Structure 1
Amino acid sequence: MSGFTQRIQELERTRADRIVSMETLHEKAAMEGRSLDSREQLGFDSLASEVEGIDAELATLRRQQTMSGLSAKGIHVPGGPNPQNPTARGVSNTKSNLPKGTAFARYAMALAAGRGNLHQSLEYAKTAYSSTSPEVVNVIKAAVSAGTTSDPIWAAPLVEYQNMAQEFIDLLRPATIIGRIDGFRRVPFNIRIPRQTAGASVGWVGENKPKPVSRLGFDAITLPWAKVAGIVAITEELARFSSPSAEQLVRDDLVETIGTFIDEQFIDPTVVANPAANSPASITNGAHSAASTGATLAAVDSDLTGMISYMASQGLTLTGLYWVMNPRTKISLANLRNTNEEVAYPSIEANGTLKGFPIVDSASVPITEGATEADPDTTFIALVCPREILLADDGQVTLDASREASLQMSDDGTGTLVSLWQQNLVGIRAERFIYWQSRRAQCVTLLTGVTY
């Protein structure tokens, strides 16, 4: 076993132990009908910090493992075939040289080619991908065949599906705002999480004078199961007679469909929570805001400094903050010049930072048209403290396909129904479980009415 693999396994076991300890604290408090006490809260925070540190080290180790080529070695399933034997059945011991996300896209294409019938999808995958993407055949075969988790020939492909889905997630992350921000407080789904709502009071006390007495205030929040789902419709001809360019088309369309929706829901201030769909409000909904005072350097600099000062006034440590803005705004700030015609913020071009904090630019940050043609279009800039945002993320994308359904071919679900069967179309549905919620309302501040 390689040093990388051994260390990763040790960290994963340690992480699992810490998660169990965190859940035990919550379960004990829940059974007693109370929130965590101060000692338990300190223990929970300590465990959470340790998990965050482990996650960071795991990410580094896995990146090093991939770069060194160690991840090309097979995974041995207990009781199953030896991965060192290249002729053994089960988990493949070769690393695909295909572009990231291609295997997952081929899985989607095989589902589409089978028109929702797994047996047809399997036959198509055997014909099209058995030599170049055998993991696609194994995954579909696992879905078709009955078996148990102790059966290595049935269970091994589940590992390959995890790898394919993770590959797609790795491709999706850089395309989303969430994926480009580090430091979220990651929590499991459906776990009660205490939140402090009131702090202690202290003050100067003279000799023989009473000391101030206060009471900490807590409530508890739970991040429910919630999923993002999207459907991509392609023709049967594209599914059955696809070339590598068509595979890339499906892959890119899935990435764009899921990524754009998640970004809009995450950052658009007009997005409110919908209990019926278990969907969260955006992190900017109801957030503190201040109006832009202008597009001159003096006004812009004063506004940006004011946003940072607001964060500091709320007791937030000024480390790990992120700017989120529309690309139009980033370009304008990068080209803003002082009275000497020098670039005012050279760090934007140099390393993508503004006043020391990274910039995440996304077209999902909306631009609002002016009320009249004479009025400028406006947008906003957000300053975000990710460690005060709770994020529950399953980290996987699941796929299904059908040609028998009728779809409303519009983003808002109000379009005319189109029969997939009549139009020779196949619908590919992608789903991802994810939910977020601000731990503190002050973790986001907005600069609204931005015209640049």
Structure 2
Amino acid sequence: MNKYLKQLLDALAAKNLELQGHMTKSLDAGQTPDEETEKSIQAVEAEIEQIEKNIARVKKQIAATEAAAKTATPVAGQTAEEATKSAKGDPDPEGKKPKIEIVPLAKGVGFAQYARAKILSQLAAKEGNYKSALDIAKERGFGDEVQDLVTKATLGTTTDAGFAASLVTENRLVAEFVDMLRAATVFDQLTGFRNVPFNSKIPSQLTGGTASWVGEGAPKPLTNPTYGEVEIKEHKLAAITVYTQELMRRSDPAVDILVRDDLIEASKTLIDNTFLDAGAATAVRPAGVLNGVTATANTGTTAAAYEADLLALINSFVAANLSLDGSYFIMSETRAAQISLLRDALGNTYFQGMALRGTRTLMGIPVITSQTVGDKIILVKTSEILLAQDGGVDVSYSDQATLVDGETTHHLWQENKFAVRVEKFITWAKRRPIAAAFLDYTPTGG
């Protein structure tokens, strides 16, 4: 086993060198990776991720083997349990009775199973076979918690012994899904937002008052701070995913994983794209954090240029009398890797804290990465952003609608498809415009 672990570690080192080679090639050319190089980088990253998973598995097996060796059961007759079996007889001497092992569901799968049970119940009803969602959950072997969540709507009396338990189940399974959604988004990797209620107006100070020393008998100066209001509205995101009815009917556990991951992916993409763009607030969406912000000019992608440009971003905060406490750099994974590869004349890492993988800091400021950011580096201060959101999600289903997705139209009833819609109430607003600043490295035409 240890030999296999060494082989995996060697393979991981080789793949990291290969990844570094791809990144260095683009860096030496003075440009970001082209499409072909980016595909190669993503392929190597996928291989690294798989190798790391296998390393974790092997380490777990090694630890289990070592623990078992320390707690090995003595030979028959050496323990009280063995002596009892010897004196009274062992009802299962050959160990033929099946042993029931309860394997916990992967995080978020219980919520996906709940959604599938509701979908399959509706499909059965349309075929004249009326089955409740609870019946479907039992037939599919979904666990007790999922069954409790399916039946929660009927448990609403104070005399029902299962009432409180069902609420706990609902909260846990839904919370699991919400936690996974949060972990997937750039937005929810940031901390320090100012939480506020929906449909509220928050006063904000636009300019500060002034004070001065006053001589004896001299008039006191007037101070004229200016104030404004930030309005927090109520916005709702809705993500729709489409499945074939045949897929929903399959009992393969992989379908539950597929439903869970699709719902998370659709929701996280919308949240991050909206949060990181420059769009204005409307009745249906909040403003992007870059709305009203002019890009800080960049001077290049050398180590010295990055340093000068990042200091320019930081100085924009300092000039507005904003501290850097609770601020974050947000950039793409690709750009973070480029910066981490920069070396000084002695071959040392130019920016300490910027690793190829894992947790990163840049100039002492935490770095969050996502390809959603594109060709920008964003500096954001979360305490200058007001956030309102509820803690749950709402799931709806339909096989009757006609959905338009760009140039693709889904006629659900005609095509035997089913759509699942996830809705979540969430909105935000900048307390002051300077809550964010950014560098734009988007290539210009010509």
TM-score by length of 1: 0.70
In structure 1, the partner of 2:49 is none
CA deviation after TM superposition for structure 1 residue 316, in Å? 1.1
Does residue 376 of structure 2 align to residue 384 of structure 1?
A: no
Using the TM superposition, name which of 103-112 and 428-437 deviates more: 103-112
Equivalent residue in structure 2 for 1:138, among 123, 148, 158: 148
In structure 1, the partner of 2:426 is 434
In structure 2, the partner of 1:355 is 363
Query: Could you tell me how far apart the structure 1 residues matched to 2:112 and 2:242 are?
Result: 14
In structure 1, the partner of 2:241 is 232
Query: Could you tell me how far apart the structure 2 residues matched to 1:115 and 1:358 are?
Result: 47
Query: Could you tell me how far apart the structure 1 residues matched to 2:401 and 2:442 are?
Result: 44
Relative to structure 1, the CA distance from residue 341 to residue 245 in structure 2 (aligned partners, 3 Å threshold; closer, same or farther) is same
**SS of the residue aligned with 1:169?**
helix
CA deviation after TM superposition for structure 1 residue 176, in Å? 0.4
Query: Could you tell me how far apart the structure 2 residues matched to 1:435 and 1:96 are?
Result: 38
Query: Could you tell me how far apart the structure 2 residues matched to 1:96 and 1:286 are?
Result: 51
Q: Per-residue displacement from partner, 1:296-332 (whole Å, max 9, x unpaired)?
A: 1111101111111211121112211100111121111
Query: Could you tell me how far apart the structure 1 residues matched to 2:197 and 2:401 are?
Result: 34
Does residue 180 of structure 2 align to residue 174 of structure 1?
A: no
**Correspondence 1:115-134 to 2 at 5 A:** 115=122, 120-130=132-142, 133-134=143-144
The alignment's C-alpha RMSD in Å is: 2.2
Query: Could you tell me how far apart the structure 1 residues matched to 2:170 and 2:277 are?
Result: 33
Relative to structure 1, the CA distance from residue 112 to residue 355 in structure 2 (aligned partners, 3 Å threshold; closer, same or farther) is same
Do 2:214 and 2:220's aligned partners in 1 also have CA atoms closer than 8 Å? Answer: yes
Q: Per-residue displacement from partner, 1:18-53 (whole Å, max 9, x unpaired)?
A: xxxxxxxxxxxxxxxxxxxxxxxxxxxxxxxxxxxx
CA deviation after TM superposition for structure 1 residue 434, in Å? 0.3
CA deviation after TM superposition for structure 1 residue 390, in Å? 0.4
In structure 2, the partner of 1:63 is none
In structure 2, the partner of 1:92 is none
Aligned residues: 335
Runs (5+) with no aligned partner, structure 1: 1-94, 367-378
Query: Could you tell me how far apart the structure 2 residues matched to 1:341 and 1:393 are?
Result: 47
Relative to structure 1, the CA distance from residue 189 to residue 151 in structure 2 (aligned partners, 3 Å threshold; closer, same or farther) is farther
Relative to structure 1, the CA distance from residue 383 to residue 96 in structure 2 (aligned partners, 3 Å threshold; closer, same or farther) is farther
Query: Could you tell me how far apart the structure 2 residues matched to 1:309 and 1:180 are?
Result: 24
Query: Could you tell me how far apart the structure 1 residues matched to 2:359 and 2:228 are?
Result: 40
* Amino acid paired to 1:97: P
In structure 2, the partner of 1:248 is 257
**Correspondence 1:162-311 to 2 at 5 A:** 162-269=171-278, 271-275=279-283, 277=284, 279-311=285-317
Do 1:236 and 1:424's aligned partners in 2 also have CA atoms closer than 8 Å? Answer: yes
**SS of the residue aligned with 2:373?**
coil
Do 2:387 and 2:428's aligned partners in 1 also have CA atoms closer than 8 Å? Answer: yes
**SS of the residue aligned with 1:272?**
coil
Do 1:380 and 1:447's aligned partners in 2 also have CA atoms closer than 8 Å? Answer: yes
CA deviation after TM superposition for structure 1 residue 205, in Å? 3.0
Do 1:235 and 1:424's aligned partners in 2 also have CA atoms closer than 8 Å? Answer: yes
**SS of the residue aligned with 2:280?**
coil
Query: Could you tell me how far apart the structure 2 residues matched to 1:393 and 1:312 are?
Result: 30
CA deviation after TM superposition for structure 1 residue 216, in Å? 3.3
**SS of the residue aligned with 2:353?**
helix
Do 2:281 and 2:287's aligned partners in 1 also have CA atoms closer than 8 Å? Answer: yes
* Amino acid paired to 2:150: I
Q: Per-residue displacement from partner, 1:96-145 (whole Å, max 9, x unpaired)?
A: 72111010111122122223769543321121134xx21221222223x3
Query: Could you tell me how far apart the structure 2 residues matched to 1:361 and 1:406 are?
Result: 36
Do 2:149 and 2:166's aligned partners in 1 also have CA atoms closer than 8 Å? Answer: yes
Runs (5+) with no aligned partner, structure 2: 1-101
TM-score by length of 2: 0.71
CA deviation after TM superposition for structure 1 residue 149, in Å? 6.2
**Correspondence 1:304-323 to 2 at 5 A:** 304-323=310-329
Does residue 420 of structure 2 align to residue 420 of structure 1?
A: no
Q: Per-residue displacement from partner, 1:257-277 (whole Å, max 9, x unpaired)?
A: 1001100000022x22222x2
**SS of the residue aligned with 1:346?**
coil
CA deviation after TM superposition for structure 1 residue 219, in Å? 2.7
Query: Could you tell me how far apart the structure 1 residues matched to 2:228 and 2:141 are?
Result: 53
* Amino acid paired to 2:119: A
Relative to structure 1, the CA distance from residue 289 to residue 206 in structure 2 (aligned partners, 3 Å threshold; closer, same or farther) is farther
